[in-house]
Structure 1
Amino acid sequence: MRVWYCRVCGLDYDASPWGPDGQSPDHSICECCGVEFGYEDYTPDSARQYRAKWLASGAAWFYPKIKPLDWQLEVQLQLVPPRYQ
């Protein structure tokens, strides 16, 4: 199974919210950073801007009840696709 990583925070997903073609976002929300796929992460620059705001505001989980106990922000950020870093 192929893993997909959020363009903003690097959270892993079993399926791409950008569809099989990588061009058809479903506009769902990242469980970690709260980005709306296909809106705030549409371009590398917009993903970087959203990430900067998210980090500046404390990098809080959008759905805090599912945040892993052993979550490490720095490790997860390394999984952001290179084009969006």
Structure 2
Amino acid sequence: MPLWFCRVCGLDYDESPWGPDGHTPDHTLCGCCGAEFGYHDATPTAARQYRAQWLAAGAGLFYPNLAPANWQLAEQLAQIPVAYQ
């Protein structure tokens, strides 16, 4: 099963919140950065702007209780799709 990575923070997901066609967002929130899929990541520019705000605010986890063990921000950010970096 291919992974999908948040366009803002690089968190990995088993399914794309942009639907099977890659063009129909479900408008849920990223568990890490809190980006609304289909809004904060609708364009590369929007994703970069939201990422800059999130990082400037300390890059806190939106749902801290879901933090993976040994979470490494730099490793996760490296997973951001190239077009959205």
TM-score scaled by structure 1?
A: 0.98
Distance 1:67 1:33 in 2: 11
Distance 1:23 1:69 in 2: 32
1:1-85 equivalent positions in 2, closer than 5 A: 1-85=1-85
- Cα drift, residue 68 of structure 1: 1.7
Stretches of 4+ aligned residues off by more than 3 angstroms: none
Distance 2:69 2:21 in 1: 34
Query: Unmatched 5+ residue regions in structure 1?
Result: none
**% identity of equivalent residues:** 65
TM-score scaled by structure 2?
A: 0.98
Distance 1:31 1:23 in 2: 20
Listed one character per residue, the Cα deviations across residues 56-85 of structure 1 (whole Å, up to 9, x for unaligned) are 000000000111230000000000000000
Query: Unmatched 5+ residue regions in structure 2?
Result: none
SS in 2 for 1:60: coil
Letter in 2 for 1:60: G
Aligned residues: 85
